[in-house]
Amino acid sequence: MTLKIFIDEKNFECLKKSIPPGSDCHAALEQAVHFSNVGAARAGSKAVVTCNDVAARELLSHARSRCPGAAATIAEAFRAAGLTP
């Protein structure tokens, strides 16, 4: 299953730093789409990470130890897709 993870830039950068080089999920972060200031209600920059649920679980496992905000965002993407994080 493909997940779209909408994450703010601060948590995206934290997540990116927590992923070891060569990790399978690193490619998902490299292919993320970045955008900024979309609508008046959304301040700041965001990223959309598109990956399968296996890569998302790997992202979540790395995020849990260092990036609680990113971990919460990834867990929410799982719940939105009807999956258990």
DSSP string, 52-85: EHHHHHHHHHHHHHH-HHHHHHHHHHHHHTT---
pLDDT along the chain (85 residues), means of 10: 93 92 86 74 78 94 94 96 93
Domain ranges of the chain: 2-80
pLDDT of residue 40: 47
pLDDT of residue 22: 82
CB atoms within 10 A of CB 53: 15
